[in-house]
Amino acid sequence: MKPPPSPYHCLTLSLLLIPPLLLAATTAYLLQAFPPPRNASSPLTRTDHGLAGLPLNHTARELYPEHFYDGGAYARLLMGKVRYWLIGPVDGRRVVLVNGLSIPAVIWKDVAPALATQGFRVLLYDLYGRGYSDAPHTTYDVGLYTNQLAFLMQHIRWDKADIVGVSMGGAIAAAFTYHFPHLVGEHVGLIASAGIMQSADLPRTAKFMSSPLIQRVAKSKIVRTYLQRLAEAPQSGVDPVSPSDSDSSSDAAAKAPSTESQNAKASKFLLQEIVRVQSAHLDGYNGALASSLREGPIRGLRVCFEGRRGVHGAGGNSKVKEEMEGAADEKNPWTGRNVLLIHGTDDPTVPYKYAGEIAGLLSGAVSPVQLDSPTDGGYDGEDVAPQTLFSSPHPLSSADPKSRLQSHSQTVPPADGTRPHTRVVTVHGGKHDLTVSHPALVVRELVRLFGGAGPRESG
């Protein structure tokens, strides 16, 4: 058996070990560098540049110029730089237009100028990761998008505005109303709105391409170079035009159907090209789309449409739950508002069934609202040609002859006084990009929702 170490041996080891340890600790203490303060003017996270970071003569900037709309500027917000535009009379009724998943504010090219002509003060902006706005290295969830709009409204000193969103923008509009009801006016427009989609309705390819592994591969230099070469390859199509380039004469709105069809093709070409060049040349674009699909406002917003607050956590206590539900009704952010839903029956992206489900959630129905189709005999719309909408001529360049299809307007009664007044406009044969395929109908219904432009509300 080995004898235990003697006290002398232990003391010797301590004398040998303690000085180096003290020296190391002292050195670390003296050399410890406290991090420098953050630059307060910098975003909270790293960002990738938007289209503004590309050369001025780049194809992407020719397709979607920085001054596509008048009144453009940049706002430096917490998560990056945001491109926005303000058009229309300064004292007009304030309206915010929110774009969707893949296409920036150009999606409103035939709607925004028409609203401005009607006397509205319109705010458009590119969502983070799209167009000219920065793409922050973060999760693209509801919080990111709603805070972006809240900070932007603060930047331009708007205390309240009506809000309209298309596709994912509709979901953002609903979430914004839920989280920032004091910033939203009496009217909310939801066009082909996402927000409560089921995963089964998302294309398998989209789910595969948005996976983290595929996104890491897509960021590699080889893949990026390949995408850029594809984007630079010549494409067959027609040259799109911005709103300011369209013919403003009184004869422009009365073009022949063949010319209207050509304009519709030009709009489709424009949108496809913008998606293509963003995917190829913007480092943060594909990641923004992937994160939005996986963690963003495409799904999971039923509570935002229901508007009920505070009912979670009541457990089995029925009395507590009843009291919480009563408090939730008092705080329902949709109370007293007018909501317009516009949806196409042939929408391949956000199926038409979701219009009925959203209407049911808003109205407080126990099940989705059964919507009548325009062919059920309840048609109260009209076949509207673009030139009949406005007292002064204004380009609605992408109006397709097929946009003169029937539309059916259906009022959904609220279940109680805490629910909004909801109206659903069904576009027979309409697909997803209704702001481009049916701009005249969209403008007509929005003006009807707002009750006219008029002076903006005080406060």
Residue 24 falls inside a structural domain: no
Written as one string, the DSSP assignment of 67-79 is TSSSSEEEEEETT
Q: How far apart are CA 391 and CA 298, in angstroms?
A: 38
Residue 10 falls inside a structural domain: no
Two tokens, residue 446? 């929005």
Q: How far apart are CA 412 and CA 362, in angstroms?
A: 9
- So what's the pLDDT on residue 417? 83
- So what's the pLDDT on residue 291? 94
Question: What are the beta bridge partners of residue 338?
Answer: 187, 421
User: Could you tell me the CA-to-CA distances from 115 to 170, 249, 345, 374 in Å, in that order?
Assistant: 18, 18, 25, 26
Q: How far apart are CA 361 and CA 355, in angstroms?
A: 10
Q: What is the phi-psi region of residue 443: left when phi exceeds 0, alpha when psi lies from -120 to 50, beta otherwise? A: alpha
Which residue is associated with the tokens 């990026």?
A: 224
Residue 12 falls inside a structural domain: no
- So what's the pLDDT on residue 58? 87
Two tokens, residue 138? 């973060």
Written as one string, the DSSP assignment of 187-208 is EEEEES--SS--GGGS-HHHHH
Give me the CATH number covering residue 228.
Answer: 3.40.50.1820
Residue by residue, pLDDT tens for the chain (459 residues) are 566 666 666 667 677 777 878 888 888 777 766 666 666 666 678 999 999 999 998 888 999 999 999 999 999 999 999 999 999 999 999 999 999 999 999 999 999 999 999 999 999 999 999 999 999 999 999 999 999 999 999 999 999 999 999 999 999 999 999 999 999 999 999 999 999 999 888 877 777 777 777 667 666 667 667 566 665 665 554 444 445 444 433 344 444 445 545 666 778 888 988 998 899 889 999 999 999 999 999 999 999 999 977 544 444 445 434 544 444 445 799 999 999 999 999 999 999 999 999 999 999 987 888 887 555 443 344 433 333 333 323 333 334 444 445 788 899 989 888 899 999 999 999 999 999 999 999 999 999 999 876 666 544
Is the pTM for the entire model greater than 0.75? yes
Residue 29 falls inside a structural domain: no
Domain that holds residue 263: 47-450
Q: How far apart are CA 110 and CA 69, in angstroms?
A: 11
- So what's the pLDDT on residue 391? 30
Q: How far apart are CA 108 and CA 95, in angstroms?
A: 13
Which residue is associated with the tokens 């001529």?
A: 393
Residue 41 falls inside a structural domain: no
CA angle at 329 for the pair 313 and 305, rounded to the nearest 5°: 85
Q: How many domains does the chain divide into?
A: 1
Question: In 3-state terms, the chain is what percent helix, strand and coil (to 5)?
Answer: 45, 15, 45
Residue 242 falls inside a structural domain: yes
Residue 349 falls inside a structural domain: yes
Residue 391 falls inside a structural domain: yes
